[in-house]
Amino acid sequence: MGWSSVQQRRLQAERKILSRFFPSFEWISPNDNNNTKVEGNVPTNLGNNYTLRIYVPSDFPNSRPDMVVTSPHPLRGFLGQDLIHYGATSKMHTLKPRDGFVKICHHKDWQPNLTLYLVILKGRIWLEALEAHKRSGKYIADFLCEMQ
Amino acid sequence: MSTTFVYMLEEQVQAAYESFRTFQNNFLPGIACGFDGGDVFHVYTSAPKVHIAGYPCHSAIQFLIRMPDTEESLAIVTKICKTKFGNNPKPVVIVLLAAEEKRLEHRVFIHISGQFREGSLKFIPEQSELYSRSKGLLETSILENCRVGIVGLGSGGSTVALELAKAGVGNFVLIDFDRMELANISRHICGIGDLGRYKTKAVRDLLYARNPYIKVKTAEININTNLEKTNSLLKDCDLIIAATDNDRSRFNLNQIALQYRITTIFGRAITRAAGGDVLRVRPYQGPCLACIFTNDFLKSRPDEISQFRQARSQNPDYVSEEEVKATIQVGLSCDILPISNMIVKLALVELSRGCEASGLVSLAEDLVADFYIWANRRELSYANYLKMGYGSKTPSILRWYGARYDRDLTCFVCGDQSQSFLLEDNIFAG
Ligand SMILES: [Zn+2]
C-alpha cells in the first residue's frame, strides 16, 4: 500500500519543515502508508528528554495523526503514578492509549492545513504542562488552558 | 371493462427472441407482478434489476411460427395454463410472440377469476428512447456517457443520485457503508421496504427503476480507511458529488479531486438543517475545500448532526455516549432538498460544459460562484437575516447566495507548495 502522489508531495513538504525545526525526528517506514511514523527527541525547558512518536494515518493529512510519548516509559505523573491509567480524559488532555503509550490529545478540530510540525509543537507544550503537573500536582488541563 | 396493460422490457424480449431463433427455445417461464386487482401486470423473463412491487403471479412466454386468430390463441393459452399451472387460483399472464416478416407480433392473455381476457402488451424501450423527452434542454447523449461518483447516500446524496439518473446520466459509482435504518426512513428516498439493506444497493435499485439501462457500480466501504480503493473507484469519473456527513471524508474527497483533477461538488446541511452550503471545487482553478473550510468557518457553520456514528467521530474519546447523543439534531427532509437540488443543477452545468447545444448555457453564466449559501430558517448563523417580506435586495431565507471565494495560494492543500516536483530522494514512494 502506498501514498498517492498528492500525499507524497505533502509528506515531502512536511519532511522539509521537520528537518529544519525538529532535526532529531526520523521517518519510520515512510513508504508504507499503513505504518508510517515519525519519532524523535523533544527536550523541555528544564532539559529533560522525551521521545514523541506520531503515527501518520493512511489518509494523511485528512485525519488527525495520533501522538504518543514512547520515552520515558512508563510515563509518570505527580505521585509517580503511571499516566497510562488516566486513559482518555480531558483533565490530562489524553486519549485512549495506543500501543501501550500515553496518547496526547492535540488539535480537537483537525484540518489538513495543519502540519506535523504543529503537532509536535503541541506535543512539546503538553510535555511542559506535564512537568508543571509533576511539580504542582495540578491537572495538565489547568496549564494548557493558561498557555493557549 | 377497461384494458389490462402488460409491460415487458424490450431488451428482455429481444434476448428471448434470440434464444428462440438460435436454440429453438420456444417456451420461457416468466416472472410476473400484478397490480391493483389485475389492472396492470409486469412480466420479466429473469429477475428484474428494479424493485418488484405488486403481488406475484404466474407467467409464461410462448413463441409461435405465426400469430393465430383469437380462437386459436385462446386454445393455446388454455393448454399452457392447464399443463403448466394447473388449477392455481393466482392470475396467470401468458405472452404469445411470433416473428412475422421482420415484425414481432404479440398478444397477451390473462387468466383471472377462471376466465381469460386479452390485454395490451407494452414494451419498455431502451435508454435512448426513455430519455428522449428531455432532449433539447439537456444533451442526453452526452449525459448518457458521463460517469458520476456519489459518496454518501443519505437523504442528500440519494436525492442527487436519483435526479441525475432522471436527467439521463448513464453511469454511476455509489459509495457508502451505511445500511438503511428506521431512523433514516423519514428523510431518505428509500423506505421501509429497504430496511437493513446497504444504502448503495437500495439507491441503485431506485435508479434502475428510472432507467434499467444505466450502469451502477456500488462500494460499501468507509472511504477514510480505504483511500486506495476509493481512488480507483473514482479516478475515471467525470464528476464527484461529496455528500458525506463528516469533514474527514470531505477532505479525503478534496484530495482525490486534486489528485485526478476531477471537478467535485460538496454539499451539506448545517445544524438542524437551518440551512446549508454547496461548494464546487475546480481543482487548481478555484478554491479547494481546505481554502474555505477553515476552523473559524466551520465553527460558525457546524454540520448538521443526524446520527450517532457521525456524532461519535466528531467528539474525543473522553466525551460520554450520553453527551454525544445530545448533539444529534436532525433537520427536515424538505430542508435538505433545496441543497440537493442545487448540487444537481451545478452537476448538470458541469457535465454539459463545453456543449453549445446544451440548454444550460445561460444557467452556467449565472452559476459563476464556487460557493453557495442557503438558509431555511432565521436561526443560528442566519439569525440576523431580515424577514423575507417582498424585496430581494437583502439576504433572506429561501434564496441562494453565491459567495466570492478565491483560491488561497498559500493553502497547504492546493497552494503552490502542493504542486512542487517530487524530489530525487523521495522516501515516500512505494
Ligand atoms: Zn486550497
Reported pTM: 0.88
Please name the residue of chain B whose CA is at the shortest distance from the CA of residue A57.
Answer: B225
SS3 track for B143-207: HHCCEEEEECCCHHHHHHHHHHHHHCCCEEEEECCCECCHHHCCCCCCCHHHCCCEHHHHHHHHH
Distance separating the N- and C-terminal Cα atoms of chain A: 38
A12–B411: do the CB atoms touch at under 8 Å? no
* pLDDT recorded at residue A148: 47
Question: Chain A interface residues facing chain B, Cβ-Cβ under 8 Å?
Answer: 1-13, 15, 27, 30-31, 36, 58-59, 61-63, 87-90, 95-96, 105, 108-113, 115
The CATH topology of domain A5-147 is Ubiquitin Conjugating Enzyme (3.10.110)
Q: Which of residues 294-353 of B touch A (CB under 8 A)?
A: 294-295, 298-299, 316-318
B225–A59: do the CB atoms touch at under 8 Å? yes
* Closest residue to A11, CB basis, from B225, B290, B428: B428
User: What is the domain class of B5-124 according to CATH?
Assistant: alpha beta
Query: How big is the A-B interface in CB pairs under 8 Å?
Result: 105
* pLDDT recorded at residue B419: 76
The domain segmentation of chain A, as residue ranges, is: 5-147
Cβ count within 10 A of residue A62: 26
Q: What is the ipTM of this complex?
A: 0.91
Q: From ligand 1's centre to the CA of B406, what distance in Å?
A: 9
Angle (CA) B289-B293-B297 rounded to 5° is 160
Contact B220, B176 (CB under 8 A): yes
Please name the residue of chain B whose CA is at the shortest distance from the CA of residue A95.
Answer: B317
Residues 6+ apart with CB under 8 A from B66: B98, B100, B105
B298–A109: do the CB atoms touch at under 8 Å? yes
Q: From ligand 1's centre to the CA of B171, what distance in Å?
A: 29
For residue B247, give how far its alpha carbon lies from the nearest alpha carbon of chain A (Å): 8
pLDDT tens across B357-395, in order? 677 888 999 999 999 999 999 999 899 999 998 877 888
Show the cell assigned to B208. 434502475
* Closest residue to A9, CB basis, from B227, B290, B422: B422
B429–A6: do the CB atoms touch at under 8 Å? no
For residue B20, the one-letter residue type is: F
Please name the residue of chain B whose CA is at the shortest distance from the CA of residue A90.
Answer: B318
| Residue B254 at interface with chain A, using a CB cutoff of 8 Å | yes
Please name the residue of chain A whose CA is at the shortest distance from the CA of residue B408.
Answer: A113
A62–B295: do the CB atoms touch at under 8 Å? no
For residue A63, give how far its alpha carbon lies from the nearest alpha carbon of chain B (Å): 6
Please state, in angstroms and rounded to a whole number, the distance separating the CA atoms of residues A147 and B212: 61
Query: For residue A83, what is the enclosing H or E element?
Result: none
* pLDDT recorded at residue B278: 98
Please name the residue of chain B whose CA is at the shortest distance from the CA of residue A86.
Answer: B318
The domain segmentation of chain B, as residue ranges, is: 5-124, 132-416
Maximum distance among all Cα pairs of chain B, rounded to whole angstroms = 86
pLDDT tens across A70-129, in order? 999 999 999 899 999 999 999 999 999 999 999 999 998 899 999 999 999 999 999 999
* Closest residue to B317, CB basis, from A11, A12, A88: A88
B251–A12: do the CB atoms touch at under 8 Å? no
* pLDDT recorded at residue B265: 98
> Which residue is it, cell 485525519?
A63
**Cα B328 versus chain centre, distance:** 26
Q: Does the pLDDT value for residue A134 go beyond 90?
A: yes
* pLDDT recorded at residue A59: 96
Strands A94-98 and A101-104, how do they pair?
Answer: antiparallel
B248–A3: do the CB atoms touch at under 8 Å? no
Cα B270 to Cα A14, B63, B191, B369: the distances in Å are 33, 59, 24, 20
B259–A10: do the CB atoms touch at under 8 Å? no
Taking CB atoms and an 8 Å cutoff, what residues of chain A touch B430? 1-3, 31
Q: What is the CB-side half-sphere exposure of residue B332 using CA atoms within 13 A?
A: 6
| Residue B46 at interface with chain A, using a CB cutoff of 8 Å | no
B318–A90: do the CB atoms touch at under 8 Å? yes
* pLDDT recorded at residue B328: 86
Q: Does the pLDDT value for residue A131 go beyond 60?
A: yes
Instruction: Look at residue A17 and give its three-state secondary structure.
Output: helix
* pLDDT recorded at residue B306: 87
- Return mean pLDDT, chain A: 93
| Residue B258 at interface with chain A, using a CB cutoff of 8 Å | yes
Closest-CA residue to B73 (of B121, B40, B34): B121
Taking CB atoms and an 8 Å cutoff, what residues of chain B touch A11? 428
The CATH code of the domain at B132-416 is: 3.40.50.720
For residue B100, the one-letter residue type is: E
Q: Does the pLDDT value for residue A29 go beyond 90?
A: yes
> Which residues in chain B show pLDDT less than 50?
none
